[in-house]
Structure 1
Amino acid sequence: MEPVRFWAAVEFTAQNGSVEALLSEASAQGLHPYGVSARPGGFCAHCAAWQYRRFAALARKLRVRLRVHKRQGLYFCIRPLLRRAGLWAGLALFVPLLLWAQQYVWTVDTSTLTTGQAARAAAVLRANDLQPGSAVTEAKLTAGEYALLQSGEFSWASLNFAKGRLVVEAAAAKPKPDIAAGTLHGIRAKCGGTVVRTNLVSGTMLVVPGQQVEAGQGLIGTARAERDGTLIFAPAAGTVTAQFEWSDTRQVLLKEDVLQRSGAVSVEYELLLFGHHFALPAAPAAENAASQTRHFAADLFGLPLPCSVQETCWYAQQPAVLCRTEEQAAALARLQSLQALKETFPDAEIVARKEDCTASGDALDYTVTYTIVADICA
């Protein structure tokens, strides 16, 4: 009787009249109550809900009074909902709406990419209107694939869309081989110095370690002669590492007018739903406020929704005077010089450093000379 109790059952009492005849007549008609227990003047029993009407008809015939004490089962829990026409109308509208919404992006699957690759790929796709809440077309998918390839990070990319799920598959780009990166016009020095070591990949090396070279001098050529005098041409590729001096000059203010954050923040939200943008009401941003924007997909208890949210935080700023000591100014100037050195010679190895700091008024003049070892191929 457990399935009956789970779906729909009633607990009732029978009193007065011929209760013994009621049980006999019910058994003869195929009604089988369960959990029957004696009560003063009658009995208590359980039966399936759909059999209770027949019990009631027999009870009236035999002048037995029935009273329902408890209704059990799932049916009695959902019966109030079954009587609500609006619920069924909403369900009837929800199904076609769900099928129609499958043409929009619900979730973006980047499980085959690393965390950094996934974030950069999402930014590229977002610029091509491919994000949760956007409508998908073949033209957008093709444009998104080309955009991923043009970013330079991927050598192969594929976008597959089905039933609201956009799957991003891509392979990281590999660096070009050194031989393919060679030039047919030879390699020259971009600055003078003393050659420390050479590494020839293709072509003809024109300098040797210990040789002094000048800016613009040829380092690797594209032709070499065989024993019989035949010239063989090959792309010039390789590295020439030399030791030389590199100088830089910086000026850092000891007092500088800057904008500092006051701590006040206002947040703006923009919702992308079914291809349309909806800006939610927000307080106006303060003047000269710094902004920071992030994007995230919306979900409901872990279930992705066909929409995405753009959150823009505006941080209020106020004018202030930043005072630096001479030590702080020198440290900042040193950092700026090192950044410029790494931009000019990424592989530079610092051998020695000579710097000079002179304070004049509200500024610090910084001059530094580095003795470095780096690749001088232009």
Structure 2
Amino acid sequence: MEPVSLWAAVEFTACNGSTEALLTAAARAGLHPYGVTALPGGFGGRCAAWQYPRLAALARKRRVRLRIRRKLGLYFCLRPLLRRAGLWAGLTVFVPLLLFAQQFVWYADTSSLTTGQAARACAVLREAGLQPGAAVTEAKLTAGEYALLHSGEFSWASLNFAKGRLVVEAAAAKPKPDIAAGTLHGIRAKCSGTVLRTNLTSGTMLVQPGQQVEAGQGLIGTARAERDGTLIFAPAAGTVVAQFEWSDTRTVPLEETVQQYTGACTRAYRVAAFGHTFSLPAAPAPEHAAVILRHFQPEVPLLGLALPCSVEETCRYVQQPETLRRTEAQAAALARLQSLQALYAAWPDAEHIARKEDCTVNGNVLDYTVTYTVAADICG
């Protein structure tokens, strides 16, 4: 295929008149039809589209009838699109709009963070007004960096913004060493108990395994004396694991009115784009419902390109009151669970040694009393 056929060419037929004289005149005029084949009463061939009007003028002078059989090339494929004014108007509006939208967040790049860190960082930045679709200023970038640092999860954070892309870089905070986390005022016991084992990191250990200690008694001191009597001070840090008893009382009703899910759900959407927030029409919110918020960023189908906007979805799961009836065994299990949760909230490192519990039913209520014997770090 000739290269000219790739852009714009026509396939034609020439009949009647002096066809031989037409070919001779075309060659003299610098027109070079190609693919010329003999036909009854004339010939057929191809030429560049911009040469066809001149060839048609020569044919009229020689009484030759030209007929276009087929149009070839990309030009004739694109010409219907070129004639659509709306396409050019849309392109004219799209380019300035694209340049204007570069000052808004299109995409937050958190590839340097783990999945959990990225989710928590996006939540912090959202509160600072740096979600997709929001306008970016130096003040917002600075506030976002400080917000990430104040969250306590990151020891260093940097936000870089260019052409709609917000790059989030951060380093996870490392826990303080035991010595640096020590105190200069000594460590005292949070409760009374019997010392089981000790682990001194810094300072002076004031108790030993097997010793009975009282609440408020000193466990680790900050000063020790050298052989010559010189006092040396160091931060008090370490652990003292002691055995002690912990008691708790719970009251659980055997009949209780609770909110149960019905399976119905209503959704409401808010779209943040170009620095503004728009609420979409939604069904009225039910009276009793559990509310769950979800944030996501829409993407272009197939291409997967992020758009400069974010969507907040509010899901309300309808609930209705129902009477819940428990057996004594179920109520006792619930009370036991609540007591264990309270125990580990007060002593996260507690080691369960023994348990003594008592359950009594008074009317429609179960009274639960438990005493745990545990081993835990009592340094306070």
Task: Show the counterpart of 1:182.
Answer: 182
- How many residues are matched? 378
In structure 2, do the counterparts of structure 1 residues 205 and 2 end up closer, same or farther at CA, with 3 Å as the change threshold? farther
- TM-score, structure 1 length as denominator? 0.95
Moved more, 231-240 or 151-160: 231-240
- Within a 5 Å distance, the mapping from 1:123-162 to structure 2 comes to 123-162=123-162
Quote how far apart the aligned CAs of 1:202 are. Answer: 1.0
Q: C-alpha separation between the residues in 2 aligned to 1:27 and 1:327?
A: 108
Alpha-carbon displacement from aligned partner over 1:107-152 (angstroms, at most 9, x marks no partner): 1000000000000000100001001111111111111111100000
- Once the two structures are superposed, residues 71-114 of structure 1 have per-residue CA deviations (whole angstroms, 9 ceiling, x without a partner) of 22221122123233343233223222211111111110000000
Can you list the C-alpha shifts for 1:317-375, whole angstroms capped at 9, x where unaligned?
A: 11111222333222222222221111111111112223333333322222222221110
Please tell me the residue identity of whatever aligns with 1:284. Answer: P
Moved more, 80-89 or 298-307: 80-89
Look up the equivalent residue of 1:56 and give its one-letter code: A
Deviation, 1:162, is: 0.8
Distance (Å, rounded) in 2 between the aligned partners of 1:338 and 1:3: 83
The one-letter code of the counterpart of 1:69 is: R
Equivalent runs, 1:275-354 vs 2, <5 Å: 275-300=275-300, 301-354=303-356
Shift of 1:2: 4.7
Gaps of at least 5 residues in structure 2 are none
Give runs of aligned pairs for residues 145-224 of structure 1, distance below 5 A: 145-224=145-224
Partner residue in 2 for 1:55? 55
Gaps of 5+ in 1: none
Which has the higher mean CA deviation after the structures are superposed, 173-182 or 295-304? 295-304
Name the structure 2 match of 1:244.
Answer: 244
Matched residue, 2:11: 11
Q: What's the offset of the Cα at 1:185?
A: 1.2
Q: Counterparts of 2:30 and 2:335 in 1: how far apart (Å)?
A: 99
Could you tell me how far apart the structure 1 residues matched to 2:268 and 2:201 are? 55
- Over 3 Å counting, the alpha-carbon distance change for 1:150 and 1:53 in structure 2 is same
What is residue 363 of structure 1 aligned with on the other side? 365
1:361 aligned partner, one-letter code: G
Q: CA deviation at 1:18?
A: 2.3
In structure 1, give the amino acid aligned to 2:168. Answer: V
* Counterpart residue type for residue 173 of structure 1: A
- TM-score (normalizing by structure 2): 0.95
Cα distance in 2 between the residues matched to 1:352 and 1:40? 112
Q: CA-to-partner distance for each residue in 1:52-71, whole Å, 9 max, x for gaps?
A: 21221222122121222222
Tell me whether 307-316 or 350-359 shows the greater mean CA deviation. Answer: 350-359
Residue range with higher mean Cα deviation, 40-49 or 60-69? 40-49
What letter corresponds to residue 283 of structure 1 in structure 2?
A
Q: What letter matches 2:115 in structure 1?
A: T
- The residue number in structure 1 matching 2:226 is 226
Shift of 1:156: 0.4
Q: Deviations over 1:275-314 (max 9, x none)?
A: 0111111111111122111111122232222111111111
Please state if 1:88 is matched with 2:88. yes
The residue that corresponds to 2:67 in the other structure is: 67
CA distance in structure 2 between the partners assigned to 1:23 and 1:362 by the alignment: 112
SS class of match (1:31): coil
The structure-2 alpha-carbon separation of the partners of 1:368 and 1:46, relative to structure 1 and needing over 3 Å to count, comes to: farther
Alpha-carbon separation, structure 1, partners of 2:33 and 2:334:
91
Task: Report the Cα distance in structure 1 between the residues aligned to 2:27 and 2:279, rounded to whole angstroms.
Answer: 70
Identity over aligned residues, as a percent?
76
**Residue in 1 aligned with 2:22?**
22
1-side partners of 2:339 and 2:58: how far apart?
102
Cα distance in 1 for residues equivalent to 2:347 and 2:104? 48
Could you give the per-residue CA deviations for residues 15-42 of structure 1, whole angstroms, max 9, x where no partner exists? 2222233233323333233333333323
Deviations 1:149-185 (CA, angstroms, capped at 9, x unpaired): 0000000001111111111100000001111111111
